[in-house]
A and B are shown apart, each in its own frame.
Chain A
Amino acid sequence: MKNVKSLICLIAMILVVTACSSSNSGNSGTTTSNGNEASKPATTEGSKETAAPSADPITIRTVIKDVSLSNPLYAQYFDALEAALLEDAGLNVNFELVEMAQGSYAENLNLLLLGGDVPDLIYFQGGDASIAEQGLLEDLRPHIENSKYIKNIMMEHNEKRMESYPYLLWIKPYTPKVPVVRTDWLNDTTSGQALLNDPTPDNYYNFLKELVSSGKSKYGITVAGDLAEINFIFNEAFGITSTWMKNSEGKYEYSLISQAEKDKLTYYNKLYSEGLFDQEYLTKQWDTKEDAFYKGDAALVTGTAGKVIDLYESRMVELNGETATLTALPPAKGVSQGFGAVDVTKESRGFAISSISENKDVVFQVLDYLASPEGQTLDRLGFEGQHYNLENGKAVFTDAFYSEWIASFWEPVELNTTIPVEGALLGATAQTTLEMPTQYFKEDNNFIIPEQYVATWDALTNVYKEYATDFITGKKPLSDFSKFVDAWYANGGQDITNYANELLNK
């Protein structure tokens, strides 16, 4: 009895204290309490002209993923950047890099910020929405308006995203995942050429079939665990042109319950049952998927456009010989063609400026500088003598460039540097993968799921995943698709559809 009494007392005590305390013991509050500075446009201080060099360097505290001054390359880079800023733009700054343990950047960054320490310049790779909500991120639109260089290099998708979510800047080309296959294998087949000329799903089917039956690969295509990658290739061909599509009644319905989706899943099921779609795709991770590609089990995989394709190619050649370069394939053509509609709600990652920073204008000027020809030269070409050599006034890249140099900031597709460049920044195939998507660009109409629907959306996603995998693997017949649609609506889909229609019809 004594035990039970002590138990009740203790629990009551804890609950009471917990419920009653309203003060926040966690704030090391040196920060101001205006929450909504972000909605005020920053005052224009004539940021077009370069400020006269100040006596003391302005410290810019920065945190960037996997960047630390203990890496000599970065130490060198930031020193060079500081010097260049002073010389070319008259900005006297000193970069102070916040050291972060590597590993889960998003988590560490969250802790840093939530602990009250907000650096001036922050690179985000997830987790920015809640920080922006608290008004801690600077609205970048007025800065961009007044910028010298940045506004000229913003690409279409960057501009759209900036409009609806003006906190993250990330000027990089649009990089969907692009299908690649070994060039020698492609040339060895008869269906390969047909595919390049007319990439219909049927031609894809024939191509994969020929690859498998000729014994080149075990199965045709593989992906890492779910349908995201293969959808880049086939979504548009089957008519999935945006997340929400108008159905026959003129109302928006979710693309995943549409007839188009059903057709596509029927196709995937066909590939799967004939062994042209890896029957173990569900348990593949990115590393086993790549392994399968290099080993030759999979003939076709998708990779993020750009540098990643370069890496795939060099590894493939290293393991399988000079003839094993890669060829990028066009997305399937059918009802439509392309790599899918582009999410323009917000950048998924990028640089943000703290709205409570004292030096936010200077920080933006730094970012602007990096968009200028001088800045681009440093950021994208590297150091002379180490990453490139000057021959006849042109920069010729060294091996070190290809293996260790990556631009930290902006990479508009067009290269505009003070030194003309001999050759390309990327291998030919990788370069194609960057250029290809631009011809298919179209905006998506997806929206950020509001908080009250988050749990429902999660449940709906799982309903889809379960049915889709069962359809593809053949555990459920595609005639059951209507059952899936019913289940989708029953689990909250109706609410979300109503919300979507309201939103999209505005």
Chain B
Amino acid sequence: MKKLDISKIVIYLILFLFSLAVLIPILNLLAISLTDASKAHLMNGLDIIPKQFSLATYQVLLNNPLITGGILNSVWITVAGTVLNLVLTSLAAYVVARNNFYGKGAVVIFLIIIMVFEPGLIPEYLLVKELNLLNTYTALILYKGVNVYYLFIMMRYFQDVPEELLEAAKIDGAGHLRLYAQIMIPLSKAGLATLGLFYGVFHWNEYFRSMIYITAQEKWTLQVVLRQFVIRQDNTTIMGGYENMFGGQMLDFASLQAGTIIIAIVPLLLLYPFILKYYTKGTMEGGVKD
């Protein structure tokens, strides 16, 4: 079995190199965030060990009272938003993926138009304002309630479900709702998990919209809070420059920036293994009799 060995090695090697290329800069960021301010500027792009270990950056970041609030807000928006996303997206995907109903063509064109035309900030903002949704979580949960791009992807996953399964159920008298709930959804676990991940990440990382729609400080999401630390204030126009925020401690800007990135990523890192659970092979196994 020598042939198998070489190809295996090649594959493992390629993947290893790629993962390394990706990993080192992230470890570098981690190291910078853990480096003491006095030495932080000496760290170059390939150092993965802090030159002088210091938890100061994290102490400052995590002790800020806005952080816990920010995390909770982000979690709420992410969870609520993702659930809503998945329900709406899967409903729409089911209807459009496998049925020829009257008006299907128009609906699809409609979806494509929505996907490619970005109305821009003002009309969107005005709409949110008209609906009295400014400064509410609802605005953020509903924003991009269905991402058309992901909708088409989900449609693709639904289309890959073998026809025979659906036929069998229909013969047994199942209507659309049952087909949707009891066949499509369970058999597309990997797809749903994937899109759940995509939507979740999207909500979690959403900074710009949160910044624009939420003004009350206690409602700020984590991303907005974190950005406060790394925006270079114009020091001649604000009171209490960034030194004050940190109780008089001089912190290194690069270290702060790296720290905020790490904090924002960590929850997602913890999430991914759960998703991987659904990536088990052969979800079709046992469904179709060969």
Contacts and interface: CB of A to CB of B under 8 A. Distances in A.
B236 A306 contact: yes
Contact of B215 (A5, A11, A101, A306): A101
A493 B254 CA distance: 42
B41 A103 contact: no
Given A67-B238, A287-B232, A403-B243, A104 B211 contact: yes
A293 to B, nearest CB: 10
- Give the interface SS of chain B, mostly helix, strand, loop or mixed: helix
Contacts of A308: 235-236
A115 B41 contact: no
A74 interface: yes
Contacts of B113: 10-11, 14
B240 A404 contact: yes
A286 B239 contact: no
Contact of A408 (B207, B215, B239): B239
Interface string B212-226: 101111001000100
Contacts of A34: none
Contacts of B125: 111, 114-115
A9 B106 contact: yes
Contacts of B220: 101
B220 to A, nearest CB: 7
Contacts of A2: 105
Contact of A10 (B106, B233, B244): B106
A172 B237 CA distance: 11
A295 B243 contact: no
A10 B112 CA distance: 12
Quick one: which of A66, A71, A104 has the most chain B CB within 10 A? A66
A306 B235 CA distance: 10
Contacts of A228: none
Interface residues of A, number: 56
B228 interface: yes
B42 interface: yes
Contact of B212 (A77, A107, A307): A107
Contacts of A73: 239-240, 244
A101 B212 contact: yes
B178 interface: no
Contacts, number: 128
Interface stretch (A242-250, A311-319, A479-487): A311-319
Given A99-B215, A107-B212, A114 B232 contact: no
Interface string A298-333: 000000101110010001001100000000000000
A108 interface: yes
A373 B72 CA distance: 47
Given A9-B106, A101-B224, A311 B235 contact: yes
Interface string B224-254: 1001100111111111110110001010011
B74 to A, nearest CB: 15
A405 B105 contact: no
Contacts of B173: none
A43 interface: no
B239 A68 contact: no
Contact of A66 (B216, B237, B254): B237
Given A67-B239, A403-B241, A108 B211 contact: yes
A294 interface: yes
B42 A7 contact: no
A28 interface: yes
A172 B254 contact: no
Interface in B11-56: 38, 41-42
Interface in A139-183: 172, 175
Given A65-B238, A101-B224, A307-B236, 16 more contacts: A2-B105, A11-B113, A26-B122, A65-B237, A73-B239, A101-B211, A102-B224, A104-B211, A111-B121, A111-B122, A111-B212, A125-B234, A294-B41, A319-B41, A403-B243, A406-B238
Interface of A: 2-3, 5-7, 9-11, 14, 25-26, 28, 65-68, 70-71, 73-74, 77, 99-104, 107-108, 111, 114-115, 123, 125, 172, 175, 286-287, 291, 294-295, 304, 306-308, 311, 315, 318-319, 349, 399, 403-406, 408
